Chains A and B, each alone.
Chain A
């Protein structure tokens, strides 16, 4: 009797489990299909291979005005910074002393500058620049670092070709144990 009762209750449990599980299986497809074109104003990811850059263009000459209007309170008149993490120019990874690491000396990809300024800067009004303004102001930051001429028209194609001084300075450790 004792055993039988046990078996019965186990059966009851497994029956309710089955119901529970099938409900769960149904619940597992609740995402709504969407297509990439619906994400154009949402997806800000810009990669080194040129994917994700919006249309637009600009030169450092144009960017200087934006920089002086929108960036200097925190980054200084010529990008010298107002603190260690707001310095945008200078440094040398091979310097004798502890290297100063900035956009110019440290960053391996110019795409990161586009990606970051578009998503996070200016820090007091992120995402308030147009795509043209982002191209212009990052052209100016690259020019301040001596990486591009101030006449270069920066756009999706030319940005992909910008070579950063420390482009070979990184080691991918993502698969380390």
Chain B
């Protein structure tokens, strides 16, 4: 490796992001300055066994390497007092890029995953329309569709950070209720127009075909905007855990309103005030008034590596990486701090930066064995800046624990242990 001065970008080891392009810095846990496979390591490379015999045949349905089997969603134990209730969290700390594989996309169910035969499934649009209509799956597949990359986040994600003490958790356990995917479906406006929206209608009421018949009310103006009836996720039919054969998809908004297993859309003057938009998913403020229908998710970022419960084994250069998103636009900027928010450096944002999608960020960081607190701070295309945890909790209180989007702090101690802290 050619000797080159690393340009400092902020205190405590942050290095200018442009070195990511030119320097070939190695990934997590690798020291860039020393070569472990060098001559001193004392062994010769040989042709491995798998290069000496034919491998497995092509298969009808792919599976991952058994060496990556430990990459799992984290899901709660089945609870007989809450049949089918619960969630599974994406392993953010093990993923890269900005698309979550379907098998690792987070899930949240309120009464389990129904086993729906698409030939029997119906989607009804009725209420304040010119002509109530019922749609079959096969027919819906013939409609013009759009494909868009969006994040999906449960409004309960990161909720433990409202708590008075920092939980001992990982990026997955604390923030794993967010994922990103390409969704393909029919603009909902196409189907609403076919039924003919009555000028009196102000809300759509969406209901799923699960055992909880999950219902949510969504203002008609939003429903006519970028909402879609999603039929495909990352190119394949939406999986049962995501609403097969069809779900509503409301870009940028709290996941629960993207009603899965969608079977009914009723247009009305007023919202229904379903249980999951009154009792739950509402934000009680310090003055004890509660905000209802708080849909767009805040401007947010999370460092996924190094992150909670990891251990830095050696000093050297690490690639700090994470994801950022906003329910109100695209991500313009992500800054990273290694000194608990005193100094900041701009991270490199990868790939596309489309509206309401995950953006991957990266920045090199030199760990010299001292204490550090890593933070990231996102800014979206509307100029919204991710707030500190303290300002968010001061403003919102912690009676409700939805819609947390404050800055996360990962402390690294001199032993290299990474943990969630409030800084």
Contacts and interface: CB of A to CB of B under 8 A. Distances in A.
Interface of A: 24, 27-36, 39, 42-49, 51, 73-74, 82-83, 86, 93-94, 98-99, 101, 103, 106-109, 111-112, 115-116, 119-120, 123-124, 126-127, 169-177
B291 A103 contact: no
B314 interface: no
A126 B215 CA distance: 14
B340 to A, nearest CB: 29
B188 interface: no
A45 B328 contact: no
Given A33-B132, A115-B274, A170-B278, 10 more contacts: A27-B143, A34-B134, A45-B264, A45-B266, A93-B288, A123-B83, A169-B290, A171-B289, A172-B292, A174-B222
A39 B270 contact: no
B365 interface: no
B399 A126 contact: no
A120 B275 contact: yes
Contacts of A109: 273, 278
Interface string B262-296: 00101010111111001100101000111111111
Interface stretch (B62-70, B206-214, B231-239): B206-214
Contact of A35 (B81, B83, B125, B132): B132
A35 B130 CA distance: 11
Contacts of B133: 31-34
Contact of A175 (B139, B212, B219, B274): B219
Contact of B284 (A30, A45, A99, A115): A99
A79 to B, nearest CB: 14
Interface stretch (B14-22, B177-185, B190-198, B367-375): B190-198
B126 A108 contact: no
Contact of A28 (B131, B144, B205): B144
A108 B290 CA distance: 10
Contacts of A46: 272
A94 B287 CA distance: 9
A173 B124 contact: no
23 contacts: A28-B194, A31-B194, A31-B195, A32-B134, A33-B132, A34-B126, A43-B126, A45-B207, A47-B268, A48-B270, A93-B284, A98-B399, A112-B278, A115-B215, A124-B83, A126-B212, A170-B278, A170-B291, A170-B292, A171-B292, A173-B293, A173-B295, A175-B221
Given A32-B134, A36-B132, A120-B110, A115 B292 contact: no
A27 B136 CA distance: 13
B270 A29 contact: no
Nearest to A98: B399
A35 B213 CA distance: 21
B106 to A, nearest CB: 19
B82 interface: yes
Contact of B274 (A35, A49, A112): A112
Chain B: interface size category: 35 or more
B140 interface: yes
A94 B288 contact: yes
A123 B82 contact: yes
Q: Taking each of B131, B133, B222, B275, which has the highest tally of chain A beta carbons within 10 Å of its own beta carbon? A: B275
Contacts of B190: 28
A46 B215 CA distance: 11
Nearest to A102: B279
A29 B289 CA distance: 45
Contacts of A116: 274-275
B292 A173 contact: yes
Contacts of B399: 98-99
B142 interface: yes
Q: From B195, B278, B292, name the one whose CB has the most chain A CB atoms within 10 angstroms.
A: B278
Contacts of A51: 268
The 7 tightest CB contacts between A and B, nearest first, are A31-B133, A174-B293, A116-B275, A30-B139, A119-B213, A120-B212, A27-B142
Contact of A30 (B131, B135, B274): B135
Nearest to A176: B294
Contact of A172 (B143, B288, B293, B328): B293
B32 interface: no
Given A39-B126, A43-B266, A171 B213 contact: no
B423 interface: no
B77 to A, nearest CB: 13
A170 B288 CA distance: 9
Given A34-B124, A83-B81, A112-B273, A170 B290 contact: yes
Contacts of B290: 106, 169-171
Contact of B270 (A36, A49, A123): A49
Interface string B76-101: 00000111010000000000000000
B273 A39 contact: no
A101 B134 contact: no
Nearest to A119: B213
B224 interface: no
A175 B289 CA distance: 17
B295 A108 contact: no
B385 interface: no
A57 B210 CA distance: 27
